[in-house]
Amino acid sequence: MHCTRTLSVAAVALTAATAAARADDLTLCWAAWDPANALVELSKDFEAQSGNKMSFEFVPWPNFADRMLNELNSGGKLCDLMIGDSQWIGLGAEAGHYIKLNDFFEANGITMDDFLPATVKGYAEWPKGTPNYWALPAYADVVGWTYRKDWFDRPELQAEFQETYGRPLEAPTTLDELMDVAKFFQGREIDGKTVYGAAIYTERGSEGITMGVTNVLYNYGFDYGTPENPYQLEGVVNSPEAAKGLEFYKELYDCCTPPGSSDWYMSEDIDAYKSGQVALQMNFAFIWPGVEADPNVGGGKSGYFANPEGPDGHFAQLGGQGISVVSYTDSKDAALDYIKWFAQPEIQQRWWDMGGASAMRAVVENPDFATSQPYAQTFLDSMAIVKDFWAEPAYASLLLSMQDRVHSYVVAGQGTAQEALDALVADWTEIFQDEGKM
């Protein structure tokens, strides 16, 4: 008996010692935004289960890419886990910043079939369309629209809109309808305040205006190459239809945005919407839980709709990120343990419940999901029509060129839409030639 007890104590001590020996300090790097706070809470469960300690390095969005890509490019050991933007996946894979996860997934029964296909392609695969995985889809996000349902419901506004446009005032389903609604509200007096049509992305410095304008361009036929030639730019990027799409975005900016919105991105759009300046807001879906909880615009005052259809298609700009293990980490096993823990369906369900956006099919295809939040159905509709920007290793150069060309036309009003897209094709051609891909 005494011997058995001694052995038991020794076994417990050994187990504890082993756990202590394996315990690691893991640092997870991500953007500083609401979902990151939810992840901190969620990760306490991992700490309790594994004995590892989690630290977090969150950087505001405008500096996120700069800061984190510098970290990766310098082989820094700050981040063991990186929730990097979807466009980084090519660089992460080809420059060796991320660990390839195929073997790990296979050994631990994690299959990409359990995740939304768009998120697998957008966040995990490189090269695109091949079963080579460098991340686990972590946060599903997409650009969508928020509108002031309480204003739309006002009988006097409904009557006036019906009389002017010959249809009811409701969430637009086409880009032309969106323009009409934005024009209708622009400069209107509501509750003694002048309000404006729409808050859209126009930011110059990082990625803002590109993430905005693509929502229109895609629906006017713009694309990144063709199925036959992924680097076919001429006639695809700068087609006459795409130029019309760019003209549409400029018209929306000129006619229907608040004064001074020449450099707006996510936070400025949120502020304009929550302060009652605008009837419509373009933004990533991550803001929707915050809108719903807001005392001014939440609690049924807001509605949500997917990016409206255009004459040549129906797409929305993909946002969101996958979680990767940084190859320079000294705690690879613990970092992989985190991914294994995060891939569990019950953890993914809690992730959604806490304000995260799961990409796991078990969560989003649950029959109760669509009614779980007022925006849940719009989220599903939007995730079904996503398209993403280049994820090439040279994505930063491609993005900066687009920022420059599009901002110069839309906000600065320099040249024509066709000239802007022609210049973009020239820039991108030069970049791909430098990369040896053209």
The residues of the shown chain that bind other proteins, judged by CB under 8 A, are 65-66, 69-70, 73, 91, 95-96, 203-205, 258-263, 277, 393-394, 396-397, 400, 404, 407-409, 411-414, 434
Cβ atoms of 323 and 180 within 8 Å: the answer is no
- Cβ 70 to other proteins shortest distance, Å: 7
Strand partners, 136: 323
The residue among 40 and 425 lying less far from other proteins, judged by its C-beta, is 425
C-alpha 228 chain-centroid distance: 27
Q: Give me 4's structure tokens.
A: 């058995």
The residue among 205 and 345 lying less far from other proteins, judged by its C-beta, is 205
- Cβ 266 to other proteins shortest distance, Å: 14
d(CA 4, CA 153): 74
The residue among 38 and 396 lying less far from other proteins, judged by its C-beta, is 396
- Cβ 98 to other proteins shortest distance, Å: 14
Q: Give me 342's structure tokens.
A: 């995060």
C-alpha 108 chain-centroid distance: 27
The answer, yes or no, to whether the previous bond of 230 is cis (omega within 30 of 0) is no
Grouping H, G, I as helix, E, B as strand and the rest as coil, residue 317 is: strand
The residue among 170 and 404 lying less far from other proteins, judged by its C-beta, is 404
Burial label for 14, CB within 10 Å (0-12, 13-18, 19+), is exposed
The residue among 226 and 414 lying less far from other proteins, judged by its C-beta, is 414
The residue among 196 and 352 lying less far from other proteins, judged by its C-beta, is 196
- Cβ 262 to other proteins shortest distance, Å: 3
Contacts of 168 (CB under 8 A, 6+ apart): 158, 161, 162
- Cβ 37 to other proteins shortest distance, Å: 23
- Cβ 110 to other proteins shortest distance, Å: 29
Cβ atoms of 321 and 66 within 8 Å: the answer is no
The residue among 36 and 420 lying less far from other proteins, judged by its C-beta, is 420
- Cβ 421 to other proteins shortest distance, Å: 15
Which amino acid would we find at residue 116?
L
> CA of 302: how far to CAs of 99, 160, 286, in Å?
42, 21, 15
